[in-house]
Structure 1
Amino acid sequence: MGFIVNPVAGRDIRRLTGGASVSSNYAKRRTATCVLEGLTMTDNAEVLVMPDNAGLADRIVDDAPENLTVDLLNMTVTASGEDTRNAAERFSNAADAVVVLGGDGTSRDVAHGIGDVPVVSISTGTNNVVPTAVDGTVAGIATGLIASKAVSADETTVRHGTVKAVVDDESGERHIRGLATLGVLDQQFVGTRAILDPEDVIGGVVSRASPNEIGLSGIAGGLATCRPDEPGGVGFRLGNTSKPQQVVHAVTVPGVLSHIPVEEYRVLDDGEAFAFDVTTGVVSADGERELEVRNAFVRLRPVDDGPRLVQINAVIERAAEKGLFRTG
């Protein structure tokens, strides 16, 4: 099994400006310890942990149960999202399953390189849509069951969609990819990265939409619903606050319920484009500002090519049906 723990997840500015949860490295380490305990249900489990410059991975290895083989993945640490992407690429060829502790940004970085390896994504970020809030021990049990093939991954995983953008502007043609969302913001600079004010949002495209989610997928979810494993997505363009076509009530950041004026929205087929002309702006991915654009034509489209996410409840239920929690 591969183990990716992002030491900086859950520590952005939204924990200060809204009601976002805080996930300290101590809390991540405790969750990781629970995951490893759950893995002890699997015989001969071997785990490689992505190293980091905060010493978190070292503590996870040191605190691992004695009957597990747990070591650090041999790789160079850059203290950036590149670490997660590099580890995911390594695990795509070496792991039977991967556990990820982080937020939406971490899950997006993993999705870039993990291929078809089943992913158990556990929420330890600030504003999470993709990762699951679940007990680490239960998640560890499910990971071991999938990795050992005691439970079929084909029956208990779903293919999450992504959103891809092509940006034509003064810098030429550029590409950016989001897991759950890509947005277009009325901002000049990346700045603090987190999206704090819904009035900055021009529009976007999401691969999943539900009113019980936070951020752009929650805005879209007030217009139409789209499950994460359904092909296609939802595109929307926000309107003038004085004369909107309609208003959506959405949780835009944790602890903030906003009234969002909408000019246009459309349910999109897989690969169908939704376009924006942008004089000056920023493209966001999964709740974080990523790319500054000038005099740009931005085409966003949902694509059904994301990671295979493990449905933890389905794994546990299937294992119980097969009697895997009983002996004798």
Structure 2
Amino acid sequence: MSGRDVRRLAARASNMTHEAKRDIVARIAAGAVAMGVTDIFVAAEPFRIASMALEHMGLDVGVHVLDLAVSNTATDTEQAVAAFLERGCTTFASLGGDGTNRAIVRALHGAGRCEDVHLLPVSTGTNNVFPVLVEPTVAGMVAGLQAAGRLDDAGLAHRCKVLHVRDPRTGRADLGLIDAVLLREDFVGNLLPFDAGKIDKLMLTRAEPDAVGMSPIGGMLKVVAAQDDAALLVEMGAGSLPPFSAPLSPGSFQRVQVRSVAQVALDVPVLFSGSGVLALDGDRELALEGGAEVTARRDGPWLPDIAAAMRWAVAQGIIARSHTNPTRS
């Protein structure tokens, strides 16, 4: 569903076609192979995006298409991650937005493998705070270098922050990557963009004024970057802060009223009290009756700095030696 959900119709987001995604997959693969990767693993899916992208490239590497059960839900992504891990893959390139990458990280957490995995998230989704806008060829090159272990000494990757959610009433646990949002008078499964008037409270791992979605609500008042060891708690409602317009969807602004913002240290739980719907990275999945605890931790997979990694590799003379020590991606 990445790049084709109803939120694109309700806002002004561009539509990501299957052909465009195939082109991105092909460019990532070309970059990885140029750096010496010998095995590429992809999952079969109904639209054959990855498999069709690779089958006509004439790559002189092993292309492994895993035929997995398909449910057309986020479970498909989680099952694919598990299958890749079983085959020894520790470098992942993803296509999607915040929601797609949330499913990947949820699977990695469930397997206890976040510390082992480097993730290169290429932006193709609706809300794109977590993934990066990058030339796919270059992302593939860095994925290839990472899979070969040539970036291990660079120190240019950081583990991403994760919002851990626990409902003390039911014991249910879940996670988000960018935002946890408490909505009043909403419902589970609603796919439309958020109504600013229904937002009660949100917690952000990244509060960035140059983003779209929930992140700029906090980011236009206090910036919290991916590298900062903190989250930002934003409480909505009338107060001393003046209302302002924020882009809650691509090309779509809403008036927001923020009562307070405060940085929250990592590993400190915050109570989201009362009833409502808790949305994680835009997905309304958790109905609350007695509230939930939200805790930000830096325990996600490693995210390489793509531009810095390329510059470091050139400075170390690694690019010229990229066709030795074959590995898997």
Asked whether the two chains share a fold, i.e. TM above 0.5, the reply is yes
- Does 1:297 pair with 2:291? yes
The answer on whether the counterparts of 2:241 and 2:259 sit within 8 Å (CA) in structure 1 is: yes
Correspondence for 2:124: 124
The superposition leaves residues 130-174 of structure 1 with CA deviations (integer Å, 9 ceiling, x where unpaired) of: 0111111111111101111222276121111011222245xx332
1:299–1:26: structure 2 CA closer, same or farther, 3 Å change rule? Answer: same
| Bigger Cα displacement from structure 2, 311-320 vs 55-64 | 55-64
- Does 1:271 pair with 2:267? yes
1:113–1:232: structure 2 CA closer, same or farther, 3 Å change rule? Answer: same
Correspondence for 1:219: 217
- Does 1:11 pair with 2:13? no
| Bigger Cα displacement from structure 2, 134-143 vs 249-258 | 249-258
Correspondence for 2:111: none
- Does 1:286 pair with 2:284? no
> Where in structure 1 are there 5+ consecutive unaligned residues?
1-7
Q: What letter corresponds to residue 224 of structure 1 in structure 2?
A: K
Of the candidates 302, 309, 315, which is equivalent to residue 308 of structure 1? 302
SS of residue in 1 equivalent to 2:79: helix
Count of aligned pairs between the two proteins: 314
Q: What letter corresponds to residue 288 of structure 2 in structure 1?
A: V
Tell me how far 1:324 sits from its aligned partner. 3.5
Correspondence for 2:146: 146
Q: Which has the higher contact order (CA 8 A, sep 6+)?
A: 2
SS of residue in 2 equivalent to 1:219: helix
State how far apart, in whole Å, the 2-side matches of 1:88 and 1:314 are.
Answer: 27
SS of residue in 2 equivalent to 1:163: strand
- Does 1:88 pair with 2:81? yes
Of the candidates 54, 58, 63, which is equivalent to residue 61 of structure 1? 54
Of the candidates 21, 41, 44, which is equivalent to residue 51 of structure 1? 44
SS of residue in 1 equivalent to 2:40: strand
Q: What letter corresponds to residue 282 of structure 1 in structure 2?
A: V
Q: What letter corresponds to residue 182 of structure 2 in structure 1?
A: V
| Bigger Cα displacement from structure 2, 231-240 vs 317-326 | 317-326
State how far apart, in whole Å, the 2-side matches of 1:234 and 1:78 are.
Answer: 35
1:44–1:254: structure 2 CA closer, same or farther, 3 Å change rule? Answer: closer
Q: What letter corresponds to residue 41 of structure 2 in structure 1?
A: L
Note the 1:27-46 alignment, pairs <5 A: 27-46=20-39
| Bigger Cα displacement from structure 2, 12-21 vs 120-129 | 12-21
1:321–1:154: structure 2 CA closer, same or farther, 3 Å change rule? Answer: closer
1:219–1:53: structure 2 CA closer, same or farther, 3 Å change rule? Answer: same
State how far apart, in whole Å, the 2-side matches of 1:303 and 1:325 are.
Answer: 34
The answer on whether the counterparts of 1:20 and 1:127 sit within 8 Å (CA) in structure 2 is: no
Tell me how far 1:21 sits from its aligned partner. 2.3
Of the candidates 103, 107, 114, which is equivalent to residue 109 of structure 1? 103
Tell me how far 1:101 sits from its aligned partner. 0.7
SS of residue in 1 equivalent to 2:166: strand
Note the 1:164-183 alignment, pairs <5 A: 164-169=164-169, 172-183=170-181
1:230–1:89: structure 2 CA closer, same or farther, 3 Å change rule? Answer: farther
State how far apart, in whole Å, the 1-side matches of 2:274 and 2:316 are.
Answer: 55
SS of residue in 1 equivalent to 2:155: helix
State how far apart, in whole Å, the 1-side matches of 2:59 and 2:260 are.
Answer: 57
State how far apart, in whole Å, the 2-side matches of 1:226 and 1:96 are.
Answer: 28
State how far apart, in whole Å, the 2-side matches of 1:323 and 1:239 are.
Answer: 55
> Where in structure 2 are there 5+ consecutive unaligned residues?
109-113, 322-329
- Does 1:317 pair with 2:311? yes
State how far apart, in whole Å, the 2-side matches of 1:194 and 1:320 are.
Answer: 45
SS of residue in 1 equivalent to 2:4: coil
Tell me how far 1:233 sits from its aligned partner. 0.2
1:227–1:186: structure 2 CA closer, same or farther, 3 Å change rule? Answer: same
State how far apart, in whole Å, the 2-side matches of 1:91 and 1:66 are.
Answer: 20
The superposition leaves residues 259-318 of structure 1 with CA deviations (integer Å, 9 ceiling, x where unpaired) of: 311112210001222223223x21101122111223x22222211111211211111111
The superposition leaves residues 59-104 of structure 1 with CA deviations (integer Å, 9 ceiling, x where unpaired) of: 1331333212211125333322112112223334511311111111
The answer on whether the counterparts of 1:180 and 1:206 sit within 8 Å (CA) in structure 2 is: yes
Q: RMSD of aligned C-alpha atoms?
A: 2.0
Q: What letter corresponds to residue 4 of structure 2 in structure 1?
A: R
| TM-score scaled by length of structure 1 | 0.89
| TM-score scaled by length of structure 2 | 0.88
1:154–1:82: structure 2 CA closer, same or farther, 3 Å change rule? Answer: farther
Identity of aligned residues (%): 27
State how far apart, in whole Å, the 2-side matches of 1:207 and 1:285 are.
Answer: 12
Q: What letter corresponds to residue 261 of structure 2 in structure 1?
A: Y
